[in-house]
Chain A
């Protein structure tokens, strides 16, 4: 496989890598950069566990090829809160007991961030629409909806 060199940033840090052209962003994050917070659930863009932000938009990182990453800004779950502080979304997920097995949660959080970045005051329907690409098999989604509403309130209060 032909290799190419890509330059991009992950969670604000600059990265330069030489990788095969068919390598996915998910593999780059997990295997090359050791950012294992982003999860692999299906490798075909159906489960949403690998969701990250790319240039501010949510993407299934398993469907993004190395070449597309050139120049991009990537945010993963590791870049959501700080080392010490939690992002309001993370706080709300804990407060609403929205985490069970936890495997879908990094992707959920990133899809939710994309929603709240665009729409700080989403309706329940808009929340459901925004998370419809993220599968969860444990929680029944109910606490996730509650958590995203709660995070929206928190963000509003902090402004």
Chain B
């Protein structure tokens, strides 16, 4: 079927030519069985003699645990109980500081923290068994505000409760502001965001006869889980096998959290000797699992009359919650991204991740960047207004180009599509016309259009480079098909499909002849986490390395069979081509390879390119950057403060779209998640405890809220990426919030400095600004 596609040959202009499968929108690999209801998620697994588990949690934000009494549980047949005293190994979640215990040992530091575990043969018994456990607490003083926490006498970490801090300085910040013709200064606040994956966290732990443990579950990072489970059980990692089940959404929420869930299930499986299933309820998932960090961003930006940025001073504070988990890494990424994709000669950035007695925060699509993007992109619009410039022109003037140096000292070698994303988005959205006409509507509904330009470092970068490597395995079977395995995971983003296309392209198979093995720690070496938009680049390159010896073997045999030199042989779409015409089927070639007892399996490995970072100077923070421009159009109801998003235009430089339809799918999905962040999503706490722990109180966008989305793909190839691709799946969310709040400003003249822009918040601003007034009885 693919033969009908005209062939492009090397030398036709692109550095990467004659692709048959990469760059085409093949059907998503995992869609068919998902649409039939046949996909197997963790809660769909059943093992003989399996027990069901539950977690007893602290209701206090900070309390000494004086006594944990299992009550009547001890005597009950087939009922198993675990507290921190029963943990055979290390009671901790290994991540950066390893400070979050699996079960609170003596002190609980947030409301919802796990204190004890129970397992029983029937799921419906679990709630009452948990009620039988009696825990005696002595409440302690707690601190909930990160700025107060730094000065608080409540000690959660070190001597000032600061988990991590970064800084860098470029140029002369004081002189920069002296030279500025215009300076804008303000404080911005961003809320929690709950991942709201539709499948809650869940794991099944199955003891193995040799004293090991098999783990099946919903996760992004099976190698994290392997390390955590081995640690908590005090056994070798070589006896822990982790298999990722179909994963029903993750968005960062299944980066480190599944290690916690798996450790809990594994402890019960270890104590009972039975398989144990632990599926979190929606309420306990929202209560106890990580969120996007609330942020406080103090920003001062200076520019010349012509719009040239001269100075940016940013202080960034993250509310980390009770344990550090990923906070240092999240903070570092936010620090690097603090000044936006702009040429800024004088920069001062200071950042702090601070402990509080609330739910620990961690990874969420964007990883510390959306907060600072909201601040910087709001500031850019304010500079534009002060100078009477068009916001798009201001950005165009300041955006980095190829060869420029980022404010933290990274000279950009290539793959810089910033300007192109801006130009395309401006053109496609009708920006110029709408900037003039919107906002002038009669009546109480005002329209506005706003934009934001962003960048995003792909991969783990310098702060996580020890983990930035990936393995892969490819096996060609004698019937002319191929299977492969990688250590990164599919969570809906489309990794399986993109990688299957890369394997087919590399070895000349038809897409339909490629199969993907489940991600399993026993198949490939530690491949790091599936985060930071890194799977396509890292696993893609590992697969290309694995494919190389296989392709060489196949070409060598074909060359002998066809009596033509190897350089004339092409493997593509299931056939062997010479001079552009098919001479032999791949099936026959593979049969011959098997007859010759050739090695038709191969391992590949890939280590990420060099990155570096030092506080003060900065460095080459990431291997490559992705660039994007977002334009939002809104309609604000002055009478209610409601904001309706009419349209989002979202242009992304992805390097190379391995599968354009899947790329567009990410753009659409991320835009709506970003719209939720902008307008409605917020976790509310009372005395540190989350009070909106379900979907009737934590509101995410529904289909009724979804605006029109116009996705635009820009391809500035990344020379080290597979076929030019660079990571992409996080960026669609980023920058949507400031594009929307900038549009609200354009519509109404009110500036939203704290997210989400709920109707209440917008209406209050409108009232204060005198845009509407309350009717008062005379």
Question: Which residues of A does B touch, CB under 8 Å?
Answer: 20, 30-31, 35-44, 46-47, 49, 76-78, 80-81, 86, 90, 93-94, 97, 99-106, 109, 127-129, 131-145
Contacts and interface: CB of A to CB of B under 8 A. Distances in A.
Interface residue range, chain B: 35 or more
Given A137-B700, A140-B706, A97 B28 contact: yes
A77 B36 CA distance: 7
The B interface, classified by DSSP as helix, strand, loop or mixed, is loop
B673 A140 contact: yes
B696 A44 contact: yes
B197 A97 contact: no
A17 B633 CA distance: 54
Contacts of B702: 132-133, 135, 141
Contacts of A142: 668, 672, 706, 709
Contact of A102 (B123, B200, B281, B492): B492
Nearest to B123: A31
Given A99-B31, A101-B248, A132-B703, A86 B198 contact: no
Given A31-B123, A41-B199, 4 more contacts: A78-B37, A94-B31, A103-B197, A131-B703
Interface in B35-54: 35-41, 43-44
Contacts of B30: 99, 102
B671 A104 contact: no
Contacts of B41: 39, 103
Interface of B: 25, 27-28, 30-32, 34-41, 43-44, 123-124, 195-200, 246-251, 279, 281-282, 491-494, 661-662, 665, 668-673, 694-696, 700-704, 706, 709
Q: Tell me which of A40, A47, A143 has the highest count of chain B C-beta atoms within 10 A of its own C-beta.
A: A40
A78 B34 CA distance: 11
A106 B25 CA distance: 24
Contact of A104 (B198, B493, B662, B706): B198
Contact of B198 (A38, A137, A144): A137
19 contacts: A30-B44, A36-B40, A36-B44, A39-B199, A42-B694, A43-B281, A80-B37, A102-B31, A102-B34, A102-B35, A109-B35, A131-B703, A134-B703, A136-B703, A138-B249, A138-B669, A140-B671, A141-B701, A145-B706
Contacts of B251: 137
A148 B73 CA distance: 51
Contacts of A143: 665, 668
B671 A41 contact: no
Contacts of A136: 198, 703
A139 B248 contact: no
A46 B700 CA distance: 11
Nearest to A111: B703
Contacts of A93: 31, 35
A40 B199 CA distance: 7
Chain A contact residues: helix, strand, loop or mixed: loop
A137 B668 contact: no
B668 A140 contact: yes
A100 B494 contact: yes
A139 B196 CA distance: 13
Contacts of A42: 282, 694-695
A11 to B, nearest CB: 11
Nearest to A22: B124
Contact of A46 (B28, B35, B670, B696): B696
Contacts of A46: 694-696
Contacts of B28: 94, 97, 99-100
Contacts of A104: 198
Nearest to A49: B198
B40 to A, nearest CB: 8
B652 to A, nearest CB: 14
Given A39-B248, A145-B703, A102 B668 contact: no
Contact of A99 (B34, B281, B672, B700): B34
Contacts of A99: 28, 30-31, 34-35
Nearest to B246: A102
B640 to A, nearest CB: 19
The 4 A-B residue pairs with the shortest CB-CB distance, nearest first, are: A37-B37, A101-B492, A103-B248, A102-B34
Contacts of A47: 198, 282, 695
B132 to A, nearest CB: 18
B669 A90 contact: no
Given A103-B41, A142-B668, A81 B36 contact: yes
Contact of A100 (B281, B492, B672): B492
A139 B668 contact: yes
A132 to B, nearest CB: 5
Contacts of A76: 37
Contacts of A20: 124
A44 B282 contact: yes
A55 B700 CA distance: 30
The listed residue with most A CB atoms (<10 A of its CB), out of B198, B282, B665, is: B198
A41 B198 contact: yes
Contacts of A31: 123
A49 B43 CA distance: 13
Contact of B282 (A41, A81, A100, A141): A41
Contact of A38 (B37, B123, B246, B661): B37
B367 to A, nearest CB: 17
B54 to A, nearest CB: 14
A88 B34 CA distance: 15
Contacts of B197: 101, 103, 137
A105 B34 contact: yes
A140 B41 CA distance: 22
A38 B44 CA distance: 10
Contact of A101 (B124, B249, B282): B249
A76 B43 CA distance: 17
B645 to A, nearest CB: 11
B662 A97 contact: yes
Contacts of B670: 140
Given A132-B702, A136-B198, A137-B249, A86 B694 contact: no
B350 to A, nearest CB: 34
Contacts of B199: 39, 41, 101, 103
Given A43-B281, A46-B695, A37 B38 contact: yes
Given A31-B123, A102-B492, A140-B669, A39 B706 contact: no
A30 to B, nearest CB: 8
A36 B43 contact: yes
B695 A135 contact: yes
Contacts of A90: 35-36
B669 A44 contact: no
Nearest to B27: A94
Contacts of A133: 702
Given A141-B672, A144-B703, A97 B694 contact: no
Contacts of A38: 37
B177 to A, nearest CB: 41
Contacts of B34: 99, 102, 105
Contacts of A127: 703
A23 B36 CA distance: 25
A133 to B, nearest CB: 8
A143 to B, nearest CB: 6
B123 to A, nearest CB: 7
Contacts of B671: 140
Contacts of A94: 27-28, 31-32, 35
B69 to A, nearest CB: 27
A100 B43 contact: no
A18 B351 CA distance: 60
Given A99-B34, A132-B703, A140-B671, A43 B282 contact: yes
